[in-house]
Structure 1
Amino acid sequence: MNAIRHPDGLRNLEGHADFDITWPWHRPGGLRAGSTAVLRVKDEARALPFVLPPLLRACDEVLVVDNGSTDGSPEVAAETAERAGLGHRLRQATYPFAVARAGAEHLATHELSVHSLSYFYNWCFAQVATRYSWKWDGDMVLTTEGEVSLGDLAWQVGDVQSIIRVPRHGLYLDSDSHGYLDLGLRNAEEWGYPVGPDFVFTKAFEWEIRSTPEQCRSIGLPHGLCVELKFLDSDEFAHWTDPESFATSFRNKRKRREWAVFQSLRQGVVPDGVHEITAPEGVHIVDHVTQTWLPRAPRPLQVG
C-alpha cells in the first residue's frame, strides 16, 4: 500500500491502518482548552520519577508514548503518577515500531514510514486533545521555578499562536548524591507549540522538525527552569546513528557540547562551564539541583 496524505491526516507507507494518523483538530468535538506534555520514551525508568511529578502538576495532561522499553518505563510512569496523587493527569500509549535513529538512519527513512522520526512524532502529537502541546523528553526535569512558569503559561497559550522556547541544562550524574551541571552552553529550543495544521512535523537532515508559520510569535523563557539528565554509566547517545558525526555538522552545536562534556567527565576531567555539585546527605542530587541549587543561584543565571 502506498503512503497517502489526506486532509484529515496521514496513512503510513506500510499499511498499518491502526497507526494511520488522524489530525486531532478534525476529531468530533475538536480540541479543548489546556496543555499536554508529550513524552516519547524508551528505557527512561531511572529518570521518570523525577521528570513526571513537576510536569504533571504544571500541565493539564501528560501523555507518555512508550517505544519499546525493556526497563518497565510504563509501569514506573503509572506508579510515579499515582504516588504523586496525579494519576488522573497521566495517559499512556504504545508505539510498537522501531524508529530510525537520528542522523544518517533517519535521513534514509521515508517520512511516511512508521519507522520515520517525523511520522512517529506526528502520530504521538495526533493523540493530543488540548489546544497546546509541549514536546518534552523523558529525561527533562523542571526546577521549582520551571514548574511555576509552565503552570502559569498553561492558561495563556491555548488560544494564541505562540511558540515557547525553553532553555535546558545538562545534569550529568555519576551517583545519587553527586553530579555535574553544565552551564557552559546557551541553548533554548522550541518546546511549546499550538496544536493545529500549521504545526506538524516534517523531515529534516538529522531529525524531525516542526513547521511553523512566519507570523507566529516566539517567546523565550529564562535560564534555570529545566535540566536534562545524563547518566554517566549509560549510553546516552544510542538514539543517534553515529555520535562522532556531531563534530562535522554545524547543526549539532548542542550535541557536540553534550558529547564533549560526557566524554570528558567519564575521563575525570571537568570542562569549563561545568559545576561539580554534591547533594546534602539524604537528598538526591536531582532534587537538590532542581529544588535548591538552581533556584538559589544568582540571577540572571550566568550561562555560556
Structure 2
Amino acid sequence: MIPIGSGRGLTNVEGHTDYDIAWPWHEPGGLRRGATAVLRVKNEAPSLPFVLPPLLRACDAVLVVDNGSTDGTREVAQETAERTGLAHRFTLLDYPFAVARAGAEHLAQHERSVHSLAYFYNWCFSHVTTRYTWKWDGDMVLTTEGEASMADLSWQVGMQDAVIRVPRHGLYLADDRHGWLDLGLRNIEEWGFPMSPDFVYAKAPEWEIRTTPGRIEQFALPQGLCVELKYLDGDEFAHWTDPESFATSIRNRRKRREWHVFNSLKEGIVLDGVVELTSPEGVHIVDHVTHDWLPRAPRPFVVDDPDHARLHLRA
C-alpha cells in the first residue's frame, strides 16, 4: 500500500476539484522555517477571543479553517486577530462541506471523501507554509507560561523532526466568573508535528489519526500550560455520533473522563480532582485561570479544595 503522503496530493471521490489537496512540501522553494497553529473550528465564537491572542504571539502563523459556523465565528476570529495587532500572521479559510461526526458517521465515510475527518484535516494542513505545525483546537487556551513555552519551541523545532505532546486540563465554565478545573486526568496528546509526507492524516475507526514514523524523537511539555474550555450550558459532545458511549467505553479514557465530569457538574456533583474556582471581580474566569491561578500552582499540583480538604494530585 502506497502511503497517502507519498504523492503530490489527493483528489476527493466527489470530484470537487477546487478542494483537491496539494501537499505543500512539493511547492517551489519548499517550506519556510517556523511553526503554524492550525485550528479547525465550528461555532467557537465565545472561545476564540481567549484562544487566538496567545497563539498569535507564540507562533509564526495561525490558520483558522471555519466549517460552517453560524454564531459569528469568522467575524470574531478576524476581529480578534486585528485587535492583537498581529493580523499579518493570521489566515482565515472556509471549508463548506459537512464533516462526519467522530464515531460511526466517520467510520462510514470513504477516507478521501470531502466529508471525512481525515480528508478535512489533510486539506486544512495542506495550506501550511512553515516547516512545523501545531494541531490546535478552537477551545484550547495557553496559559502565560504555555505561551512562552510554545514561542520558544516554535523556533527550536522549526527545522527539526520531533513530535511534541501537550497536556491540557478541562476548564468547565458556569459563567464569566465561575468554573471548575479538572486536574484529575493528565491528558497528553500529540499536538506538534513536522510538515512532511511522514506526517499526514489517515482514517482510524473513530476519528482521524496522524501517521508517525516508528523512530521519531518525542517529548512532552509539563502540566499547567493549556486549558480546554467546556461550557456547561452547551452541547460539548455534538461532534460525536454517540457520546453516551463514553460512559462505559474502554477505548477513550480522556473522553470518558470529560463525559463524567461534565455530566456530574450538571447534576451538582464535583468529582475527585476537580477544583471549583471563582475569579476576582472584573476578571474573567478564563483569564484568572490562565494568567494567575495555573501559573502559580505548584507542581505536582497541590490544591486547597473545600470539598476535598488537601488534594495532592500526581496524575
CA distance in 2, matches of 1:110, 1:11: 12
Matching residue of 1:217: 217
Give the residue type in structure 2 aligned to 1:228.
E
Aligned counterparts of 1:275 and 1:248: Cα–Cα separation in 2: 24
What pairs with 1:117-266 in structure 2 (closer than 5 Å)?
117-266=117-266
Which letter maps to 2:245?
A: S
The Cα shift of 1:6 comes to 7.6
Contact 2:162–2:218 (8 Å) recurs in 1: yes
Contact between 1:66 and 1:74, CA under 8 Å: does it hold in 2? yes
Q: 1:181 to 1:198 in 2, by over 3 A?
A: same
Other-structure match for 2:55:
55
Q: How many residues align?
A: 301
SS of residue matched to 2:146: helix
Deviation at 1:251, TM superposition (A): 2.2
Correspondence 1:46 to 2:59: no
- Distance in 2 between the 1:155 and 1:81 partners? 21
Question: For the residues of structure 1 that align with 2:314 and 2:223, how far apart are their CA atoms?
Answer: 8
Q: Shift of the alpha carbon at 1:215?
A: 1.1
For 1:110, the equivalent position in structure 2 comes to 110
Alpha-carbon separation, structure 2, partners of 1:247 and 1:109: 25
Q: Kindly indicate whether the alpha-carbon contact (under 8 Å) linking 1:51 and 1:138 is maintained by their aligned counterparts in 2.
A: yes
What is the letter of the counterpart of residue 108 of structure 1?
A
Structure 1 residue matching 2:40: 3-state secondary structure: strand
For residues 119-167 of structure 1, the C-alpha deviation after alignment (integer angstroms, 9 at most, x for no partner) is: 0000000000000000000000000000000000011112111000000
Normalised by the length of structure 1, the TM-score is 0.97
Alpha-carbon distance in 2 for matches of 1:288, 1:247:
31
Give CA deviations for 1:45-71 in whole Å, capped at 9, x if unaligned.
000000000000000000000000001
Q: Is the 8 A contact 1:166 1:190 kept in 2?
A: yes
CA distance in 1, matches of 2:7, 2:58: 33
Residues 248 and 256 of structure 2 are in contact (CA less than 8 Å); yes or no, is this contact kept in structure 1? no
Cα separation, 2, equivalents of 1:5 and 1:188? 26
**TM-superposition CA deviations, 1:164-196 (whole Å, max 9, x none):** 000000000000000000001111000000000
Q: Distance in 2 between matches of 1:119 and 1:192?
A: 19
- Confirm or deny: 8 A CA contact 2:5 2:198 kept in the other structure: no
Distance in 2 (alpha carbons) for counterparts of 1:174 and 1:134: 29
Partner of residue 276, structure 1: 276
The one-letter code sitting in structure 2 at the alignment partner of 1:88 is H
Deviations 1:12-49 (A, max 9, x none): 00000000000000112210000000000000000000
Unaligned regions of 5+ residues in structure 2, if any?
Answer: 302-312
Q: Which amino acid aligns with 1:86?
A: L
Q: Give yes or no for contact 1:179–1:285 (8 Å, CA) kept in 2.
A: yes
Question: Helix, strand or coil for the counterpart of 2:192?
Answer: strand
Report SS of the residue matched to 1:181.
strand
Q: What amino acid does structure 2 have at the position aligned with 1:14?
A: E
Which AA in structure 1 matches 2:8? D
Is the contact between residue 39 and residue 136 of structure 1 (CA under 8 Å) also seen in structure 2?
yes
TM-aligned CA distance change 1:238 to 1:303, over 3 Å: farther
Q: 1:183·1:303 contact (CA, 8 Å) conserved in 2?
A: no
How far apart in 2 are the matches of 1:279 and 1:79?
26
CA contact (8 A) 2:34 2:159 kept: no
Q: TM-score, normalised by structure 2?
A: 0.94
Alpha-carbon contact 2:5-2:200 (below 8 Å) kept: no
SS of the aligned residue for 2:124 comes to helix
1:71 is matched with which residue? Answer: 71
| C-alpha distance in 2 between matches for 1:247 and 1:280 | 35
Distance 2:109 2:248 in 1: 21
Following the alignment from structure 1 to structure 2, what is the Cα–Cα distance between the partners of residues 20 and 5? Answer: 14
Q: Is the 8 A contact 1:185 1:303 kept in 2?
A: no
Could you tell me which residue of structure 2 aligns to residue 92 of structure 1? 92
Cα distance in 1 for residues equivalent to 2:90 and 2:128: 12
Comparing 12-21 with 250-259, greater Cα deviation is found at: 250-259
* 8 A contact 2:130–2:195 mirrored in 1: yes
Task: Go from structure 1 to structure 2 and tell me whether the alpha carbon gap of 1:274 and 1:303 turns closer, same or farther (over 3 Å shift).
Answer: farther
Matched to 1:188, the amino acid is I
Alpha-carbon distance between aligned partners in 1 of 2:97 and 2:17, rounded to the nearest angstrom: 13
Give the match for residue 291 of structure 2.
291
Aligned CA RMSD, in angstroms, stands at 1.2
Cα displacement (A) at 1:5: 8.6
